[in-house]
Amino acid sequence: MESLSLLMEGFAGALTPMNLLWVVVGCLLGTAVGVMPGLGSSMAVALLLPMTFALEPTAAFIMFAGVYFGGLFGDSTMAILMNTPGQASAIASTFEGHRMAKDGRAPQALATAALGAFLGGFSAAVVVVFLAPSLADFAATFGFAEYFALAVFAFVATSSIVGDSVVKGVSALVVGLGIATIGMDPISATERGTLGVPELFDGVSLVTVTVAVLALGEVFHIASRVRRDPKTVAMKAGGRAWLSRAEFREAGPAWARGTAIGLPFGIIPVGGSEVPTFMAYDLERRIDRKRPRPMFGKGAIRGLAAPEAAGNATTGTAMGALLALGLPVSATAAIMLAAFQQYGLQPGPLLFDRAPDLVWSLLASFFVALVVLLIINLPFAQLWAKLLLIPAPYLYGGITVFCGLGVYALSAAQFDLYLLLLIGVVGFVMRRYDVPLAPLMIGIVLGPLAESSLREALLSSDGDYTVLVSSWITWLLYGILALVLVVTVRAKLRARRGADV
Amino acid sequence: MTDAGFWHGRSGLVVPALLAAFTTYLLVGVQTMDVPEGTDFPGPRFFPLILIVLGYLLSALLVLHYLRHPEPVDTGDQDGGQWRTFSDWRAVAWCVGGFLVFALTIELLGWILAAAVLFWCVARGIGSTRPLFDASLALFVASVVYLAFAQGLGLNLPAGILGGF
C-alpha cells in the first residue's frame, strides 16, 4: 500500500521531538480553550492563527491539529460537567451526558466521551489516509464549472442547513462574499470596493475577519450578558474514571454507529459536525425506545457515546476534504484554509504533489494528537475543570489582548485594528440577533474561488451559462445538494412536530 | 406589553440596516470602478452586482421578518432569572471603547501601555471591581506578552514612549 508507506514517512516527520512538542502544546491549548465556558475550538484556532507567522508550516499545522481536536475534547468535558457546550457540535452531548453527571456518574460520562471522541477521530483518520489521495486524484480532473458547483454546494449547505432562518444564513453568506470581493480583482487587475483606501488594495485580511468575528465579537457578546446569564457551576467528578465491562458493551455499538454516521459528513458541507451529532443522538434514542427498559432521559450512556464519536469522525474526515478538495466544510476548517493560504499553500489536489511531506506529517499528527488527547483527557478531565477558577474578567481581558496582538503583529498597521473593531462589532450584532457566523466565514474563504471559477467558466464559453451544468460531476454535485436540502427540510419539519427530550 | 413603543423588540432591524449599508458600499464600489477598456464579459463588476441584488433583496426580507415577528421584550421580573434578549450596553461600551483606545494609541503609547489599558477596560466591563489590582495585573500581562512575542518570537510590536528610556 502506497498510502501506508507515505504515512510511515509522515510519522517520521511528525515524531521529531520538536513536532511532538507542538502536538502536545496544541492539545493542551485546545483542551484548555475548549474547557472554558462558551469558548470552542474555532475560537482557539482563530486566536492561534497569527502564531503561524512565527512557526514553519509543518509545525504550525501539527499544532493546529492538536488544537482542533483538543477543543472538541474540552467542549464535551464542559458539556458534561456544566451543561454548557462550547460549540454547537457539543450540544447533543449535553442531554444524556449532563444527566449522567447529575446522577453521580460524571467520571463514566467523561470516559465515554473521551473514548468515543478518540474512536471516531481515529476511524476518520484511517479513512482519510486511504481515501484522500484518491479523492485528490479525482479532484484533479475538476474544471472551473466543477469548482463553482463545489463552492455553491458549500454556500447553500452551510447557509441553509444550520441555524433557524435561511434568510439570515444567506445574508451572512452575502456579507462574507462581499468582503471577499474587496481589493484587487485577480482576473482584470481592477481595484474594487476600496474607496481609494490604500490599506484595502490587497483586500481585507482573512486573519482580521476571523479574529474579529470568532473571538472579538464573542467577547463583546459575553460582556453584554455576563451579568444576566445565570451562573453555571461545574459538577464535582470524583471516583473511578473507567468503564465497567457492562458499560463498555453498552457503549460499544453506539460508538460504532456514531462513527458511521459522522464519517460521510466530513465531506458534505453542512457547516460542521452539528448535524451528524444530532442525527447520531436521534438514532440512539429511537433504538432505545424499542428496548424493554428505555434508558434515555435517565443518563443513557449510548446517548452520549454516539454523538461524541460522530462529532470527531466528522471533524476528522472534514480535514481530509479540506486537504484533498480545498473545501472547508465548517468555520474551523475555513480558518485552517486561511492558515494554508498564509503560507502560500493552496489545499486541493495539487497539495498532495507539491507538499507531500507536509500533508503526510499532518495526517500522521492526527493519530499522535488523538493519542495525546486520550492520555491528557481520560485520567485528568477533572483537573481541566479547575481552569474555571480563572475569573471571567481576566480571561476575557486576556483574550481581547490576544486578538489585538495577532492582528497587529501580522500587519503592523493601525488601520487593521480599526477594521478588526468594526467587524468585531458586526460579529457581536450577528450573535445578538442569532445570525449564523459559519456562512460568513465560508463566504469569505471560498468567495474568490467561486468568483474566479464562475467567470473563467463563462469566459471560456463566451457567456454561455449551460457550461456550468455541462459535466456529470456538476450534475452529481447539484443532485447531492438537492437531496441534502430535501432531507434537511424533512428533518426540520419533523423536529417541529415534537421532541421528548 | 401594550404600552411598549414600536421599537420595542424590533431592535433586530439593525441587521437589515447593516446589510443594506454594506450592500450600498459595494454599489458605490461598483460605480466608481475603473474597468479597463475591452474587458470581456463577465468583468470585475459581474460578481459584485449579483451580491448587490441579493443584498437588497435579503435586507427587504429581513425587515419584513422583524416587523412581523418582534422579539419578546424582557421585563424586570423574569421567572427563573432568565434574560433571553437582554444586552448590557454599559459592559459592551467598556469593551468596545477599550479596544478603540488601544487601536488609537498603540503606536504612541507602545504595546505594553496600550494593551494594559485594553485589558483593564475589558476586565472592568465584564465586572471586575478592583481597579488597582486590575491595573497591575494588566501591566503584568501586557509585559509578559511583549517579552514572549516581541523579544522571544520576534513579532513586530511597538515599544512606544517606553522605548525612549
**pLDDT at residue number A233:** 57
* Rounded average pLDDT over A57-83: 82
pLDDT confidence bin for A193, thresholds 50/70/90: confident
What average pLDDT does the segment A212-234 reach? 76
Mutation target vs B (from A53, A159, A167, A428; most B CBs, 10 A cutoff) = A167
> What are φ and ψ of residue A183, in 5° steps?
110, -165
H or E, element range at A11:
helix A2-14
C-alpha cell recorded at residue A330: 465548517
Residues of A in contact with B112 (CB under 8 A): none
Average pLDDT over residues A36-42: 70
Q: Write the residue in A193, A424, A430 that is nearest to B25 by C-beta.
A: A193
Distance of alpha carbon A417 from alpha carbon A405, whole angstroms: 10
Extract the C-alpha cell encoding B82: 432568565
Q: Which residue of A has its CA nearest to B128?
A: A393
Please tell me which of the candidates B26, B61, B98 has its beta carbon nearest to residue A178.
B26
- Mark yes or no for CB contact A393/B126 under 8 Å: yes
Tally of CA atoms within 13 A in the half-sphere of A311 that contains its CB: 34
> Would you call A193 and B30 a contact, using CB atoms and an 8 Å cutoff?
yes
Cα separation, A286 vs B117, whole angstroms:
54
Say how many residues make up chain A: 501
Q: Name the least confident of A23-37, A79-93, A364-378, B122-136.
A: A79-93
What is the pLDDT confidence band of residue A424, given thresholds at 50, 70 and 90?
Answer: very high
A139-155 confidence digits (pLDDT tens): 777 888 888 888 888 88
List, in order, residues 6 or more apart from A79 with CB less than 8 Å away: A85, A86, A90, A91, A93, A94, A97, A98, A113
Return the C-alpha cell found at A482: 438537492
Whether the predicted pLDDT of B70 surpasses 80:
no
Looking at per-residue confidence, does A414 or A107 come out higher? A414
Is 60 exceeded by the pLDDT of residue A499?
Answer: no
How is residue A371 written as a grid cell?
A: 493519542
Mean pLDDT (whole number) for A314-337: 81
Question: Which 44-63 residues of chain B touch chain A by CB within 8 A?
Answer: 44, 46-48, 51, 54-55, 58-59, 61-62
Answer yes or no: do A400 and B18 touch at CB < 8 A: no
Instruction: Quote the ipTM score.
Output: 0.89
Across the interface, whether the CB atoms of B106 and A225 are under 8 A apart is answered: no
Within 133-162 of B, beta carbons closer than 8 Å to A belong to 134, 137-138, 141-142, 145, 149, 153-158
Q: Measuring CA to CA, which residue among A6, A118, A448 is closest to residue B47?
A: A448
**pLDDT the model gives residue B79:** 42
Structure-block grid coordinates of residue A263: 464519517
CA distance between the termini of chain A: 47
For the CA atoms of chain B, what is the radius of gyration? Answer: 24
Q: Indicate if the pLDDT at residue B165 is higher than 60.
A: no
List chain A residues with CB under 8 Å of B118: 397, 400-401, 404
pLDDT (tens digit, 9 = 90+) per residue, B4-21? 567 667 788 889 999 999
Q: What is the pLDDT of residues A88-133, one digit of tens each?
A: 777 888 888 888 877 777 778 888 888 888 888 889 888 888 888 8
Query: From the CA of A426, how many Å to the nearest CA of chain B?
Result: 8
- Give the per-residue pLDDT at A153: 84
Q: Which residues of A touch B51 (CB under 8 A)?
A: 174, 177-178, 181
Contact pairs from chain A to chain B, CB under 8 Å: 211
Which whole number is the average pLDDT over A79-95? 76
- CA-based nearest distance B149→chain A, Å: 9
Segment B92-106 mean pLDDT: 93
Helix or strand run (H / E) with residue A63: helix A57-82
Q: How many CB atoms lie within 10 A of CB B101?
A: 15
- If you average pLDDT over every residue of chain A, what do you get? 81
Given the DSSP bridges, would you call strands A191-192 and A183-184 parallel, antiparallel or unpaired? antiparallel
What Rg do the C-alpha atoms of chain A give, in angstroms? 22
* Residue A184 near residue A202, CB atoms below 8 Å: yes
Contact indicator for A277, A92 with CB cutoff of 8 Å: yes
CB atoms within 10 A of CB A394: 18
Placement of cell 457578546 in the chain? A221
Yes or no: say if A322 and A128 are a contact pair by the CB < 8 Å rule: no
